[in-house]
Structure 1
Amino acid sequence: MAARIIQKILYQEVADRLRGMIQSGELQAGEWVDEAALTAVLGISRTPLREALKVLVAEGLLRLEPRRGCFVNELSTRDLENIFPLMALLEGRCAYEAASKVTQEDLRRLEVLHRDLRHFAELGSIDDYYAANARIHVAIQELADNRWLSDLIDNLRQVLSLSRHRSLSFPGRIRESCAEHLAIFAALKAHDSEGADAITRKHLMRQLDALRALARQDERAAIPDPWVPDSAISGERS
């Protein structure tokens, strides 16, 4: 019995490590998961690794392809269109409940988090801003103190981590995102549940808007210029 408990703890730790590798970009979207390399890097056997992979497949972070192995999942445009409206509803409800429960001590802690957010927005540091932004979302979720709501959000947030902070690379998005967060904070300070809900929903949907715009840019970039002759593309001379 004790051996089985230890084994379970190990594969959960491995799953946590793999989540971190995906969220940090160490394992890229679409990348094949090299089990032999991971067992060497993590210093573990194949058994806990494969148990951990099953957990991440169930969470939607990985996909299993017959006879090919596991791959880091890629979120399609359709996936994002389906997930973000749900996330907006759930996080909006979190903000709604948090606004009615927040205390002065809670607001002081949030003030520090928002000070960091403004600082990183001014620097234009996407990685630091993304981390500060995530801390605020989690803090509001904890203030809502609704475990059913929290479980749903955690599951979707893990899947959305596949797109990481791509929306923040859209020009002006960091500044807009920061302004939205400050507006949510103002609603929390005013104990305005309806306002916190509405602004949070808008905040999530604006992230989707930025991802849509980036997708359109990618599509345009993938279309070859019809006016560029083949010889110019290949470097050949006439």
Structure 2
Amino acid sequence: MVSGQSVEEIPVIPPFAVIDGSVGGEWRSPLDQQREDIINWVVNLLGVEEVVRAKEEFFAQTGMIFHDDESYHRRMSYFIDYFLFIRPLVHLDPENPPTPFALYRDKHPQTTIHSYTHSLFKVLKIQSTGLVLKDLCSDDKIRIQKQSDELFDGIAKSDVFQGFVFHMDEAPVLSHGLIFHPARSHRLLVKALKEAKKQGLFDRLTFLAQGARLQLKHARLRHVDPRMVYAELRS
């Protein structure tokens, strides 16, 4: 995520892209620090134009976000996660395209991020030491470790959200780029997920992109029952 700027404005402060400090306050977790190192290294290597192209693709898939949107910072954090860990760099190797994170890890094998889970999650338990989540795409349970000074304010049992869990040296931790779905949409999300799997049509990235797009649509149509918005999941 870029500090107070759109991705296009990164050249104003070359060669670095700073993760937005407004997410989670001034405190920097080990994940924040590692993520910032990666994005700085990647922008220096690939150039800001690659980030701009990635952002355009991301918005086309998940919906356009604006500075005055309530979820702007979380969405931009989600975009950075997508850019670093998901988006293939086809122009570097059309047959086996690496992600930016894969390039970084090849040069920095000591990275504290070992892998990630990008999925739709349900909160099963909230504990003093962290969270217990269910990965709704795989049915696996993941125990999230609470980092020093980290707050889970606003997260409640049975919440359903999508985003990234990063598996680090000590334990899995949450990214800041989380998209929370309204409670009245949860049944539709789970039903659509199960039906897609049953029919052999489930594609995780497509499903999550559609979920992100519908959550944004609902956020702009607060007066509409979210079940009417999320009914598009059936199509």
Higher normalized strand content (fraction of residues)? 2
- Which of the pair has the greater relative contact order for Cα pairs under 8 Å at 6+ separation? 1
TM-score, normalised to structure 1's length?
Answer: 0.26
Structure ID, larger Rg: 1
Higher normalized helix content (fraction of residues)? 1
